[in-house]
Structure 1
Amino acid sequence: MPKITPYMKQCFVTTAIGFNIIGHGAASGFPAILLPQLHKPDSGFKLTRSQDSWLASTVGLTLLLGSFSAASVMGTKGRKAAHYTISVLGIVGWVITILATSFWLLIVGRIILGISFVMMIPLRSALIGEYTSPKSRGAFLATVSLAQGFGIFFVHLIGSLISWQRTALVCLFLPFISLVMTLFSPESPSWLASQGRYEESREAFRWLRGDQEEDELEKMISARIAFQESRQGRKITMFGTIKKKEFYKPIILMFHAYSLSQSCGLVTMAAFSTIIIKNVMGDVNADMWMVIFDTERILTNTLAVFIIHKFKRRTMMFSAGGLSLASHIGVIFYIYLRNNNSLPVTGIWLPALLLALQFFAMSVGVTPMPSVMAGEVFPLQYRSLAGSISLVSLSSTMFLILKTFTGLIDSVGIEGTYAVYSFSIVYCLLVMWFLMPETKGRTLQEIEDGFRGKPIVTRELIEKKSLKDDETELETKNLT
């Protein structure tokens, strides 16, 4: 029987997380196949334009209202307990959706799926970052975007072939598989260390990583011991925590990284892809093009796993962000020239190329990079809280974009809508240029120390340094 390597174990635990992420991707893309079917004469539903937008944006609103729900479970009960909760909520949400016979039951199902989604966002990156080795961490974290993109493609594909109820039934199995696989996964070594359970932490760490990365393990435990010692006899205040560079800098960075991904089309292309395709490409088979672009998303997300493993984080983020901005500006100029009958060339290839470029930029860097960053930049002590705070940006931007999209299209057209998103992209890229560190190949403790500006040391090391300084001073006096 072949030996199960640490890398294979890291693949297993990442796959367990991935099934839930696929389910949440399916939940994000579900409105694109749900709404057209509900508007059919024989559907039994009569929805208004406002109800359409609520079905699409409810997940975003739930993210906004439940941004801090994951922090308490992750921090106090552990990563596995949080993952169990997320899986069960996902199962319940899909069951209610399957059985829904009214608009309000659909909303309830969407809300529960949204709660599961919001709890998963800080957990998925934190857990993969804590489970995996620094040399392959970027590639593993990039699978978050791949799994979510596959979920969108999956639900769009099967939803175009079968009814929305049967589609929801198929999606029900995704969180169930994740729940079963989580039973065989260990608790996070980082969380165990944060609870002072150092021997259990060592056991879980060695199960995941083998015995080749002992230095990272001991540095993590030493940093935790030093943190506990630094708190002894000191009053810890909320203001004191907020003032720490390693707390507020990653939060501000992730605020803008999440906003960037939403502005580049992550949610609009999932929920309103057919509307965008018809507005940009004209009278075409929008369902067919939706599946084509979703296929491109999957292929590019897969490519991103390997590219992120090779290239630096800043290079990936700003190259993809610049390319996304270029595609948005290209769409704006194309629509403007088309409306004024000034196009130098005609044909479906040009708008298709512009949308393909947007999907490429979004899938290769803008979407996966925030997940990679979220698994690397938050300090261990505040990982649950800081991750949840940064979700305010993701959830508020998602809700705002989904709720206002149809209104923007009706008032300023697709070109005006893309212009609004372009300004947001420029702003986010400028802020991130000054805040984003290079994290490729660095341990989580090294990244945390980089934000802090200096490493945290134990009292024993301080005493040794003081003793060494005293000895040096005594030798100097003797020589004098």
Structure 2
Amino acid sequence: MAQFKENPNSFTISEEEASWIASIVVIPMAPSCLVAGYLINKMPKRLFASLLAMIEIAGWLIIYYNTSLTEILVGRLLTGIASAGGAPIIPQFIGETSHPQLRGFFLTSVLLGLSVGILIIHVLGALFSWKTCIIITVLILFIYLCLIFYLKEPYGWYLRTHDQPAAKKSFSWYRGNSPEAKREIAKLISNQHENTYANYSIKEMTKLFLSRLLLMPLAISATLMITMHFSGNKAIMFYSITILSQTVPLLNQYASTVIVDVIRVGMTLVGAVLIRNFRVRPLLIISGVGSAASHCCFALFIYQSGENQHEVYSILALISLISYIVFSSIGIASLPWVICGEIFPLIVKGIGCGFSTFAYFFSFFLVIKLSPNLFDAFGLAGGFLCFALFTFLGTVILYFILPETKNKTLKEIEEMFRERRSTKF
């Protein structure tokens, strides 16, 4: 956005228009998640993912050849629809195809991929024009389309269509033919009638969607998604150049952004390793408290730097910002996708992931759209104090409702919500 404003094509944009370009991509994301959550149960995931990739390519090409603000907004809308439509697929795909002991690690790769992507784009943005960046993005999407056809369709689709041989073949392709894998797929097939509501009456479907089996996992997953965004995670990503220019004015804005991105990628990888080896509840509590404390320190130091014009406070503020990235990466920023991918029973997984990602993108839009107003009204320090408060409140709520899911099969997690169980350590 900063590069576009500095080097416009044939028209200039105001601050308000720039805000809409940044945030409009999120507007279709929330409803797209709900539609995608429904369609995932109606067509193979690979086919759906391919269609979304084509829509995203079209969106980027419209932006590339834009001649007006309207065309940019239309292109951003299309990329938003495609990005959000794919969001419910990713945790489902990983949840169905990975081993219980590795599931958390692989689900964390969602955030790792996002962090690496942001780092690459920021590096490319510092080296090339925004149009060159679009060309590279489109080429990556074409490679993605080719890779999709190599993968097998996950077993969940075949269970819903009662194709048991194909379900077994798909399961063994991803998980092998060990005795443990054979027992797990046999159990899933024996409970095949529990994996679809295709023959349910309206009354039975209403009872299912209002049951604890869906509502409790949805409350947990949505709370995680909302807490992540209102902790300022995406606001820092989207407005990193603005925030860093006010934090450490002497540093090059683009170089500072790349440094922060490198730290984020590194800590996301560390977070994936920690989730692989430790329980999720302790990680979440440590992450939430540490993130809130980091925001408070950032607010204090940025306020002092404005009052005293002393460089040391700017450096301490930058350290506090990095501290937030470190703490958030081990829990608040990484666990939402982990929990979304494993907490919903197969019968409601599409709907559950759809509503969870709806909460993700709706809160995403609110934070991206309102953050500039928040900073204008309360200053950078006041805005980060608000982030600290939201982070702490979300952590307290999750302490009481988040169960431990580490090393549990999807069937075992499902049983946790059929009966009331304690979520204590």
Q: Does the alignment reach a TM-score above 0.5?
A: yes
Query: Which amino acid in structure 2 is aligned with residue 138 of structure 1?
Result: G
Q: TM-score, normalised by structure 1?
A: 0.83
The 2-side partners of 1:42 and 1:392 are apart by 33
1:173-219 deviation per Cα after TM superposition (whole angstroms, max 9, x unaligned): 22211111111111110221122221210111111111111111112
1:342 is displaced (CA, Å) by 9.9
CA contact (8 A) 2:299 2:317 kept: no
Q: Is the 8 A contact 1:38 1:44 kept in 2?
A: no
Unaligned runs of 5+ in 1: 1-34, 455-480
Which of 305, 308, 314 does residue 281 from structure 2 map onto? 314
The amino acid across from 1:223 in the alignment is N
Aligned residue in 2 for 1:438: 404
2:368 aligned residue (402, 406, 415): 402
209-218 or 154-163, which deviates more: 209-218
Q: CA deviation at 1:346?
A: 2.4
C-alpha deviation, 1:434, in angstroms: 1.5
Q: Does the residue aligned with 1:328 lie in a helix, a strand or coil?
A: helix
- Find the partner of 1:166 among 132, 143, 168: 132
Q: TM-score, normalised by structure 2?
A: 0.93
Deviation at 1:287, TM superposition (A): 1.3
Change (3 A) 1:412 1:443: same
State the percentage of identical aligned residues.
24
CA offset at residue 236 of structure 1? 3.6
Q: Which amino acid letter does the alignment assign opposite residue 52 of structure 2?
A: I
CA distance in 1, matches of 2:147, 2:309: 57
Q: Identify the residue that residue 150 of structure 1 maps to in structure 2.
A: 116
Contact 2:302 2:314 in 1 (8 A): no
Q: Which residue of 2 aligns with 1:300?
A: 267
Amino acid at match of 1:134: P
In structure 2, list runs of 5 or more residues that go unmatched.
421-425
Q: Output one character per residue of 1:338-383: Cα deviation in whole Å (capped at 9) or x when no partner.
A: 344398x825431121111111123232222111111100110111
Give the match for residue 188 of structure 2. 220
Task: Give the Cα–Cα distance (whole angstroms) in 1 for the partners of residues 194 and 365 of structure 2.
Answer: 41
Which residue of structure 1 aligns with residue 223 of structure 2?
256
Change (3 A) 1:222 1:160: same
Letter aligned with residue 353 of structure 1: I
Counterpart in the other structure of 1:98? 64
Correspondence for 2:419 among 453, 470, 474: 453
1:38 offset after TM fit, Å?
A: 2.2
Amino acid at match of 2:221: M
The answer on whether the counterparts of 2:294 and 2:321 sit within 8 Å (CA) in structure 1 is yes
Q: Distance in 2 between matches of 1:143 and 1:97?
A: 29
- Aligned AA (1:188): P
Shift in alpha-carbon separation, 1:350–1:235, aligned structure 2, 3 A = closer
1:8-62 per-residue CA deviation (whole Å, 9 max, x = no partner) reads xxxxxxxxxxxxxxxxxxxxxxxxxxx2222226643310111111111112212
**Aligned-partner Cα distance in 2 for 1:298–1:327:** 18
Q: Say which of 144, 148, 159 aligns to 1:182.
A: 148
Partner residue, 2:95: 129
- 8 Å CA contact 1:97–1:105 kept in 2: the answer is yes
What secondary structure is seen at the aligned counterpart in 2 of 1:77? coil
* Structure 2 letter corresponding to 1:395: F
Selected match of 1:109 from 75, 92, 95: 75
TM-aligned CA deviation for residue 294 of structure 1: 0.5
> Structure 1 residues 234, 303: CA separation in 2 closer, same or farther (over 3 Å shift)?
same
Indicate conservation of the 8 Å contact 2:305/2:314, yes or no: no
Give the structure 2 partner of residue 286 of structure 1: 253
Task: List aligned pairs for 1:17-96, cutoff 5 A.
Answer: 35-40=1-6, 43-96=9-62
| Structure number with bigger Rg | 1
